[in-house]
Every structure is written in structure tokens, then in C-alpha cells.
Amino acid sequence: MNLLKQAIIEKGEALSDEVLKVDAFLNHQIDPVLMEQIGKEFAERFQREGITKILTIESSGIAPAVMAGLQLHVPVVFARKRKSLTLVDNLLIAKVHSFTKGETNEISVSKDYLLDEDVVLVLDDFLANGQAALGLVDIVKQAGSTLAGVGSVIEKGFQPGGDMLREQGIRVESLAIIDSLANKQISFREE
């Protein structure tokens, strides 16, 4: 997706060989016009899947997911990383390990909003080690819903998450795949 790659090149910053800072347009400041285009791109790629719901995770997954939901005319559910006061039981729970933080946390979704007849598209801002995506996929399975695929705005192709999901037979659509951040140079995978 050229508009996205352009934003990554112009506004992104490789902080190290592994860390890409995109908080100018994706995960702190958000460019709503770019998000709308991202939503349209996800909707186009998954339009034949009969999707009834989008599942994402707070916080940075919400903007692209809501824009995709607007295009596909389906509700968006975001998994919570922390317990809610008004949402305490009736939960689907998965464990998500963060390699960068070195800790495992629980994410949760109310059973009310993922039903066995749902066809679910999992969306997130980043796909790196794939642990958040695995947790969301696990929640889709627990709900008895059908998984249509996993979409990510930016995949770090040099980390194992995307390939791990593909090897499980899951359709993965990443709008930009970065093959390397070595020497603080952002290199995209050729399409």
C-alpha cells in the first residue's frame, strides 16, 4: 500500500534494528485520512470472506479496525489488556507474552460480542512476534467463531509472527512488510 509506505518513510523512524517508531501517524498521533485508506484496503482484501465482526486489541489497533469496520459495515470489538469495572465476568481470556517487556498478560473479550456464527477478521497495527495475534486467534477459537484471517498495518517481516501464522494456514494480509531496519534503514519487502 503505497500511501502507507510513503508515510512510514517520511514520518517513521528506525530507532534500532528492531524498533520502528511510527507514533507520528499510527500509534500516538493518528492520521485519520490515512486510517480511512487503510480501512478501505483491508475491506477490499477481505470483502469476499463474509466477515461479520472485526476483533482488535487496545489501543493502537482501534483506529484502523474502526475504519475497516465502517467500510465492511460490521461491528468492531477490542480486546482489553486490563480488566474493566463494568465487564467482570462472562469473559473469553487469552494469555499474551510480550518479548520486549518480558512479561505475560491476559487479554479479554466479552462472550456477548463474539458468537459462534461470527466470521471474524483479526486486525492490529503491528505484526512482529505474533503473540498478540495468537491471543486474538485463540479468543476467536474459544468463541467458536470462524477466523477469516489476520490483517496488520505493518508487519516486521524479520520477526517470526507473520510466517508462524501463515504456517498454521491462517491468511495474513499486511499492508506494509518491512524486511529490515538494519543500520536504521527501512527496507520494504518487494511485492
Pick out the residues of the known binding site for xanthine: 20, 27, 156
Cβ neighbour number for residue 93 with a 10 Å cutoff: 13
Instruction: Please name the residue that has the C-alpha cell 466477515.
Output: 51
CB of 43 to its own copies, least distance (A): 11
For 63-78, the DSSP string reads HHHHHHHHHHT--EEE
Examine residue 139 and tell whether it contacts its own copies (CB under 8 A). Answer: no
CB of 102 to its own copies, least distance (A): 11
Show contacts with its own copies in window 99-138 (CB under 8 A): 100-101, 109-110, 112-113
CB of 172 to its own copies, least distance (A): 23
Instruction: Please name the residue that has the C-alpha cell 498454521.
Output: 168
Examine residue 48 and tell whether it contacts its own copies (CB under 8 A). Answer: no
Considering the complex, state which of residue 32 and residue 160 has its C-beta at the smaller distance from its own copies: 32
Cα 158 from Cα 191, distance rounded (Å): 15
Examine residue 186 and tell whether it contacts its own copies (CB under 8 A). Answer: no
Cα 109 from Cα 85, distance rounded (Å): 13
Annotated binding site: 20, 27, 128-132, 156
Only one of the segments 33-41, 147-155, 159-167, 173-181 lies at the binding site for its own copies (rule: CB under 8 A); that segment is 33-41
Pairing of strands 13-14, 20-21: antiparallel
Enter the DSSP assignment of 17.
S
C-alpha cell at 165: 501464522
Cα 14 from Cα 108, distance rounded (Å): 31
Q: Which of 58, 90, 95, 144 binds its own copies (CB under 8 A)?
A: 58
C-alpha cell at 89: 465476568
Residues that bind its own copies (CB under 8 A): 15, 19, 21, 23-25, 27-33, 35-36, 58-59, 62-63, 66-67, 69-70, 73-78, 80, 84-87, 100-101, 109-110, 112-113
